Structure 1
Amino acid sequence: MFASTASTGNTELPPMNGHRPSRKPRLIVLIRHGESESNRDKSINQYTPNHMIPLTTTGWAQARATGAQLLKILNVDDESIVDRLVEKYHVSGGTLPIHGYARLNHAKDTNVVFYTSPYKRTRQTLKGILDVFDEYNALNSGVQLPHSQCYEPEVPRQAGVWGVAHPKECRRERHYIEYRVKDDPRIREQDFGNFQETHSMKELMQKRSTYGHFFFRFKEGESAADVYDRVASFQETLYRHFDKQERKPRDVVVLVTHGIYSRVFLMKWFRWTYEEFESFSNIPNGSMVVMELDETIDRYVLRTILPKWI
């Protein structure tokens, strides 16, 4: 059982020389992958490497629903198209309530950067999301991408540009949402060890509940405190991208990642104590967490109401 609570916080980036850095994205969004075969049946971990576990049919449906929900919070040309996509791909459950999202910047979102964990279930989740983005672009801008230009999780790239359309192909006065995809192993899930025997993992999970989720380290694996170090490194990379003026604009940055990683990311970003981290439960499969930039204070504000343990 868990209850929900609202939470806000600040970034670690202070204003530089009294001026706001000008390249920060309007939104940073964390997305947990859709339901995987392991979420449904833990015995798969006994013979399938964790990074090779795929989505279930439900997980694919959640991924497409998340794609529509992500479009719902973007600044787009035609919200009626988005509403149709939300209705088309709706699934029950999985979404978290958003509180106080104000669209503080109303400029159209035309450049979105996706970072994805290299695990199969996160890449497949991203595929479902981007299929919906391609559908929106086709309906709004009149551009039907060839298959070779659509994102494919089976064709991994360390850094890839997908979904690019020539401006002349787009309908006049219509904004095309261009996206880029970057694989980053630092945003993978907490390592629980290699092949996992179901009975022993149940015992370890019970011990973790008593010991504490943040400091408990799995044999041959990691603790959430170890994940924190990866998160710190990744966030430093994001900061460097925000500060480089010559880089292409990033209207929105999206991380397609995992449950524990998302919680640790928020802990580091908003400077939560480990006790605050322990109070939150994992976000549901296929749900997203929204951070909006408030330019008046040069800080990101958490707009999603997170689930908490009772």
Structure 2
Amino acid sequence: MILIISISLLILLVLWILSQTNLCDWLCSIIVSCAKRYRCQQRPKRIILIRHGESQGNQDSRIYSTIPDHAIGLTEKGQEQARHCGNQLKKLIGINETLICYFSPFRRSKETCELICEAFSEEKILKIREDPRIREQEWGNFQDLAKREITVAERQKIGRFFYRF
């Protein structure tokens, strides 16, 4: 019985509020402004894409014939590049912004992310996530090394734009 009376009173209150045009408009404007603020808070201020530092594969392409692509790490130069990138990123985003990092499951990408994050305090980094959707396209390690070197030499002789393999 008490529940029925409570629901009836609630319905009467809602009907009274809806009959009050000014009050209804005021409530709607508050809801809309809250929704706009929430939507703006959920969007990043900017998106910055960063490539991994120099990898062992960049230094010597023959390594792809002995080590799986996902297991190739950074060189010392690549580690320095990642640290430098972290310092530059820290200057770029300033004091009031936070950082959310996504990296591919490749070792060189994860190492780059970790070295970049060293430049930031724990409070600045909201989230660090591995995301397989942003990984490189893998063609496999089924290339004959001698043929690959010939192909690269031909491409350089003809020109990267015009060469078709």
The TM tier, using the shorter chain, reads 0.5 to 0.7
- Is residue 109 of structure 1 aligned with residue 106 of structure 2? no
- Is residue 184 of structure 1 aligned with residue 131 of structure 2? yes
1:191 shift after superposition: 1.8
Q: Which amino acid aligns with 2:162?
A: T
Contact 1:37 1:53 survives alignment (8 Å)? yes
- Is residue 128 of structure 1 aligned with residue 115 of structure 2? yes
Distance in 2 (alpha carbons) for counterparts of 1:122 and 1:199: 28
1:211 shift after superposition: 5.5
* 3-state SS of paired residue (2:140): coil
Distance in 2 (alpha carbons) for counterparts of 1:201 and 1:128: 33
* 3-state SS of paired residue (1:190): coil
- Is residue 71 of structure 1 aligned with residue 90 of structure 2? yes
Unaligned runs of 5+ in 1: 1-18, 77-107, 138-162, 164-175, 217-310
1:129 shift after superposition: 0.6
Distance in 1 (alpha carbons) for counterparts of 2:76 and 2:104: 20
| Superposition pairs of residues 93-242 of structure 1, within 5 angstroms | 108-110=96-98, 112-133=99-120, 137=121, 163=122, 176-204=123-151, 206=155, 209-210=161-162
Unaligned runs of 5+ in 2: 1-35
Question: Judging changes above 3 Å, is the alpha-carbon distance between structure 1 residues 45 and 24 closer, same or farther for their aligned structure 2 residues?
Answer: same
Contact 1:116 1:122 survives alignment (8 Å)? yes
| Superposition pairs of residues 1-150 of structure 1, within 5 angstroms | 21-22=39-40, 23-76=42-95, 108-110=96-98, 112-133=99-120, 137=121
In terms of fraction of residues, the more helix-rich structure is 2
Distance in 2 (alpha carbons) for counterparts of 1:28 and 1:41: 31
1:127 shift after superposition: 1.2
TM-score, scaled to structure 1: 0.36
Larger radius of gyration: 2
Distance in 2 (alpha carbons) for counterparts of 1:209 and 1:190: 20
Question: Which structure exhibits the higher relative contact order, with contacts defined as CA atoms closer than 8 Å and separated by 6 or more residues?
Answer: 1
* 3-state SS of paired residue (1:67): helix
Distance in 2 (alpha carbons) for counterparts of 1:179 and 1:199: 47
Question: Judging changes above 3 Å, is the alpha-carbon distance between structure 1 residues 202 and 185 closer, same or farther for their aligned structure 2 residues?
Answer: farther
1:210 shift after superposition: 3.0
Q: Which amino acid aligns with 1:182?
A: R
Q: Which amino acid aligns with 1:199?
A: A
Question: Judging changes above 3 Å, is the alpha-carbon distance between structure 1 residues 53 and 43 closer, same or farther for their aligned structure 2 residues?
Answer: same
Distance in 1 (alpha carbons) for counterparts of 2:73 and 2:58: 10
Residue in 1 that maps onto 2:33: none
Distance in 2 (alpha carbons) for counterparts of 1:130 and 1:209: 37
**Identity, % of aligned pairs?**
39
Q: How many residues align?
A: 123
1:209 shift after superposition: 4.1
Question: Judging changes above 3 Å, is the alpha-carbon distance between structure 1 residues 191 and 210 closer, same or farther for their aligned structure 2 residues?
Answer: farther
Question: Judging changes above 3 Å, is the alpha-carbon distance between structure 1 residues 60 and 33 closer, same or farther for their aligned structure 2 residues?
Answer: same
Question: Judging changes above 3 Å, is the alpha-carbon distance between structure 1 residues 209 and 37 closer, same or farther for their aligned structure 2 residues?
Answer: same
Q: Which amino acid aligns with 1:121?
A: R
